[in-house]
A and B are shown apart, each in its own frame.
Chain A
Amino acid sequence: MNAVTLRVNDRTVSAEVEPRTHLADFLREDQLLTGTHVGCEHGVCGACTLMVDGRPVRSCLTFAASCADAEVRTIESFDEDPLMGRLRAAFSRRHALQCGFCTPGMLVTAYDIVRRLPDADEVRIREELAGNLCRCTGYAGIVEAIRDVLADPVPAAVQPIPRTGPEPRTVASGRTRADPPVAPDPASRFPDPFGAIEDGVTLGRSIPFDLPPDRLWELVKRIDAVVACLPGAKLAGPPEGDVLDGTFMVAIGPIRATFAGKAAVGFDEAARSGTVRGRGGDTRSRSSADGAMDFRVVPDGSGGSRVEVELTYRLKGPLAQFGRPAIVSGVIDRLLSDFAANFSALARGEPAAAAAPAGGIGLVLGALLARLRKTIGW
């Protein structure tokens, strides 16, 4: 627990808080100030918007333990505020609320607009409101209410407080409890057969190797070797026939996910091509991935060869919003580049350099790669 002292609605409050406690939860659950609403809890909906040091902030993205000596104002503290009174009346008059869930956040944002942008026109008002979602009103009444007040404002009593502030203190804390160990996902949760990947994203890549095609093809068929060259990949055991079972750890920025799953691998000797289809899940993020990969070894015309790869994937769950195709594509490029370097080293009889988890192999690729491992060479 961290000790924190802050001002809440003109009252000095000292409390012990868990470091992970958001300001919104601290106010609602410890201070019983339930006027602050909690909606999406990842900074999108704006329902939790309140004032910290006189500026609107997302209280779901602000830790209470980081608010030492801050001046926090929730909607409850604006009862006697002339400008907020004007806004409240305008919201009522213009039918700017229905269910009322977004209203505390809307009013705080409206207060900021009137105070900071006295010349705002309707377009600007709408832009400023883009961070506050309302599912009832269609915004027309809200915009009208703010225009009313801009046309006849009163001075804002609450103004931003300079940020320099007191000397920050170190608020080290003991961890309150350990994370429970995450049980490996039973592979049976992601059973065969793998269905078609609808609405998937497809990426094509060509990876050059300084190896003759025959030699490359023989290596590619060794699934264990292939998996060993994939940063973050691990087989759960020896392949059973053409089915692989394993995990794939991916890391993108602060995100860490470990996909556990199955993959089926097939080879076509005559065409020197193969296919991998798989499915995996990451229990911690409750996300899943489907993937398919077709690959082919082709001569490059000068003694070397390349592997042409086409990947199709689909992510579901919370990770999907961070796994936009553009990012996954970049991550895959880095993965393939590390893989190619390791695989080439292996072919030369040198140890693979990268045993570390991929600094970003595709989230989606996790599943594909898991399959691949199974497929290719293990």
Chain B
Amino acid sequence: MKPAPFDLTTARDAAEAAALTGDGSPEARIVAGGQSLGPMLNLRLARPAHLVDISRAADLRAVTDEGDRLLYGAAVTHAEIEDGAVPDATGGWLREIAGRIAYRAVRNRGTLGGSLVHADPAADWVVTLTALGAEAVVADPAGAVRVEPLATFIAGPFATTLRRGEILTGVRIAKRGPQARWGYWKFTRKVGEFAKASAAVLIDDRTGEVRLVAGAIERPPILLPDAGAVLSGTLSAEEALRRALPDRPARTLALHAVALREAIDIAAGRPHRGAA
């Protein structure tokens, strides 16, 4: 199908994009790669009056080294991360995650920020960047910047805390040292489709962070509260998930438990290869 008519404006930078989607244009939406919004437009499920294309906004395509952290511009593509065209704060995890998102043709246009703003609960970045403790960097049309942990930025299925006129300009990810270990596992019936269950694990012996995240649930990814007990084997993955998601059917929890165990196994066998 073809989309309903809309206007399309290319924004040169984040400020212009925020201004174009601000008060004057209630039906405006930002589009970067368009790999999530595009299908909804083609199916006419979404009918914005105005699209603002940020895919070539230079300031949104930069990666800035902030010392102990990297700030990834929102319009960096999955393929650029996959190919190592931009530095990897985790020494390999981001590349590996990026390389398994959808298909190469989608990764060539789809962006990091677009995936987070779309906030599909099953999306790979939504889950893994929550495990990494990443932060969303948001700007409003006046240029004011706020920073919010991804764990709260993702407010629900397809929902974020972005307000009108605000745009996600980037994602801040802490650099990980060689002690960091990680694992991500997702269940899909076909390569490239959205996960039915997923889990991400981060164990950083240097910072003491231990995060177990269950993804592809009906809400934002959840951080399991009893991570240490699950890792030490005193609490089963099934029980930890059942406590965290008491309303989910047993068969669903079983699949998520598989994802969690697989991700833990991967993390156990995979020391970090050193900071980029």
Any B CB within 8 A of the CB of A331: yes
Are B121 and A43 in contact (CB-based, < 8 A)?
no
Total residue contacts A-B, CB cutoff 8 A:
192
B158 partner residues in chain A, CB cutoff 8 A: 252-255, 327, 360
Q: How far is the CB of B219 from chain A (nearest CB, A)?
A: 4
Q: How far is the CB of A123 from chain B (nearest CB, A)?
A: 10
Any A CB within 8 A of the CB of B209: no
- Which residue of chain A lies nearest to B190 when distances are taken between CB atoms in the complex? A130
B1-22 vs A: 1/0 string, CB under 8 Å? 1111111111110001000000
Among candidates B4, B45, B103, B216, residue contacting A20 with C-beta atoms closer than 8 Å? B4
Any B CB within 8 A of the CB of A240: no
Measured between alpha carbons, how far is A208 from B158 in the docked complex, in Å?
A: 26
Stretch at the interface among A167-175, A211-219, A299-307: A167-175
Among candidates A46, A62, A178, A331, residue contacting B156 with C-beta atoms closer than 8 Å? A331
Are A333 and B219 in contact (CB-based, < 8 A)?
yes
Are B157 and A327 in contact (CB-based, < 8 A)?
yes
Stretch at the interface among B105-113, B124-132, B166-174, B232-240: B105-113
Are A319 and B35 in contact (CB-based, < 8 A)?
no
Count of chain A residues with Cβ under 8 Å from any Cβ of B? 73
B58 partner residues in chain A, CB cutoff 8 A: 164
Measured between alpha carbons, how far is A357 from B218 in the docked complex, in Å?
A: 20
Are A131 and B105 in contact (CB-based, < 8 A)?
yes
A170 partner residues in chain B, CB cutoff 8 A: 9-12, 16
Q: Assuming A330-B219, A360-B157, is B9 touching A285 (CB within 8 A)?
A: no
A43-78 vs B: 1/0 string, CB under 8 Å? 110100100100111101111011010000000000
Measured between alpha carbons, how far is A205 from B248 in the docked complex, in Å?
A: 11
- Which residue of chain A lies nearest to B49 when distances are taken between CB atoms in the complex? A175
Q: How far is the CB of B158 from chain A (nearest CB, A)?
A: 3
Are B56 and A168 in contact (CB-based, < 8 A)?
yes
B147 partner residues in chain A, CB cutoff 8 A: none
B217 partner residues in chain A, CB cutoff 8 A: 326
Q: How far is the CB of A111 from chain B (nearest CB, A)?
A: 11
Are B45 and A285 in contact (CB-based, < 8 A)?
yes
A167 partner residues in chain B, CB cutoff 8 A: 12
A176 partner residues in chain B, CB cutoff 8 A: 5
B44 partner residues in chain A, CB cutoff 8 A: 284-285, 318
Among candidates B8, B29, B118, residue contacting A66 with C-beta atoms closer than 8 Å? B8
Are B109 and A62 in contact (CB-based, < 8 A)?
yes
Are B218 and A18 in contact (CB-based, < 8 A)?
no
Are B8 and A171 in contact (CB-based, < 8 A)?
yes
B80 partner residues in chain A, CB cutoff 8 A: 163
Q: How far is the CB of A117 from chain B (nearest CB, A)?
A: 10
Any B CB within 8 A of the CB of A273: no
Measured between alpha carbons, how far is A55 from B34 in the docked complex, in Å?
A: 16
Among candidates B9, B39, B105, residue contacting A46 with C-beta atoms closer than 8 Å? B105
Are A131 and B102 in contact (CB-based, < 8 A)?
yes
Any A CB within 8 A of the CB of B275: no
Any A CB within 8 A of the CB of B40: yes
B2 partner residues in chain A, CB cutoff 8 A: 20, 22, 25, 41
A257 partner residues in chain B, CB cutoff 8 A: 45
* CB contact list, A132-178 vs B, under 8 A: 132, 163-165, 167-178
Are B42 and A179 in contact (CB-based, < 8 A)?
no
Measured between alpha carbons, how far is A63 from B7 in the docked complex, in Å?
A: 12
B159 partner residues in chain A, CB cutoff 8 A: 252-253, 334, 359-360
Are A331 and B35 in contact (CB-based, < 8 A)?
no
Are A42 and B103 in contact (CB-based, < 8 A)?
no
Among candidates A126, A172, A252, residue contacting B9 with C-beta atoms closer than 8 Å? A172
B104 partner residues in chain A, CB cutoff 8 A: 56, 109, 112, 116, 128, 131
- Which residue of chain B lies nearest to A334 when distances are taken between CB atoms in the complex? B156
Any B CB within 8 A of the CB of A2: yes
A205 partner residues in chain B, CB cutoff 8 A: 247
| Residues of B that sit less than 8 Å from A by CB | 1-12, 16, 29, 34-35, 37-49, 51, 53, 55-58, 61, 77, 79-80, 102-106, 108-109, 118-119, 121-122, 156-159, 190-192, 216-219, 247
Question: What are 6 A-to-B residue pairs whose CB atoms are below 8 Å?
Answer: A41-B2, A61-B42, A63-B8, A66-B8, A175-B6, A254-B48
Closest 4 CB pairs of A and B: A131-B103, A253-B158, A19-B8, A61-B38
9 other A-B residue contacts (CB within 8 Å) besides A18-B5, A170-B12, A255-B46: A41-B2, A58-B35, A131-B103, A171-B9, A256-B46, A327-B158, A327-B218, A334-B156, A360-B157
